[in-house]
Amino acid sequence: MNGDTGPGAGTIESDDRFASREDELASRLRLAVGRLHRRIRIDDSASLPPLQLSTLVTVELNGPLRLSELARQEGVTAPTMSRVLSALDEAGMVLRAPDPHDARGVLISISDDGRDRLREVRSHRTALIGRRLDRLDDAQRAALEAALPALEALIPPDDEG
């Protein structure tokens, strides 16, 4: 980190720690996105726990889904996903229905309450980011706006939410 407290404070300066400019860019982007994401989660502590929120988004985007498919998509075990779904079900945010192709299976879909909760979380987090954007000057806002297409291109299509 550099030593001043001006506009560039908190940025990583070019030095020998990075093999290339691409490595430096990747490192700075990882730090900035990670810290911003962590700050939003802290500021939005009334939100759902991260895995419940992610699961709800996955069900919204791809549902109805079987528990095993949800577990695979979220990268967790079936027992972990079962606990997550129990909490979401208890809160009325998901619905369970028999799988028409497998009498033993259950399909999970999002409920109206789940959609409402996602809308609330998204709205609140957008407002949190909006307040942070208020800290930027016009040039910084323009630079961020110009960078959005490149940042959006980094996101896999199944990672929306």
Q: Is residue 60 within 8 Å of 118, Cβ to Cβ?
A: yes
Q: Is residue 105 within 8 Å of 66, Cβ to Cβ?
A: yes
Q: For 129-148, what is the mean pLDDT?
A: 95
* Element spanning 70, H or E: helix 67-74
Percentage of the chain modeled with pLDDT above 70: 87
* pLDDT at position 157 over 80: no
Please, which residues have CB within 8 angstroms of residue 114's CB and are 6 or more apart in sequence? 56, 59, 60, 88, 92, 93, 94
* pLDDT at position 115 over 60: yes
Question: What is the spatial distance between Cα 98 and Cα 25, in angstroms, rounded to a whole number?
Answer: 48
Q: For 73-81, what is the mean pLDDT?
A: 96
**Reported confidence tier of residue 54, pLDDT bands at 50, 70, 90:** very high
Q: Which two tokens stand for residue 71?
A: 């577990």
Predicted confidence at residue 47, as pLDDT, reads 78
Q: Tell me whether residue 89 is exposed, middle or buried, using C-beta atoms within 10 angstroms of its C-beta: 0 to 12, 13 to 18, 19 or more.
A: middle
* pLDDT at position 11 over 60: no
Please, which residues have CB within 8 angstroms of residue 28's CB and are 6 or more apart in sequence? 11, 12
Measured in whole angstroms, the distance separating CA 133 from the mean position of its chain's CA atoms is 18
* pLDDT at position 5 over 50: no
Q: Is residue 80 within 8 Å of 72, Cβ to Cβ?
A: no
Question: How many other CB atoms are found less than 10 A from the CB of residue 91?
Answer: 15
pLDDT per residue over 12-52, tens digit each? 444 557 788 899 999 999 999 999 988 888 887 777 898 99
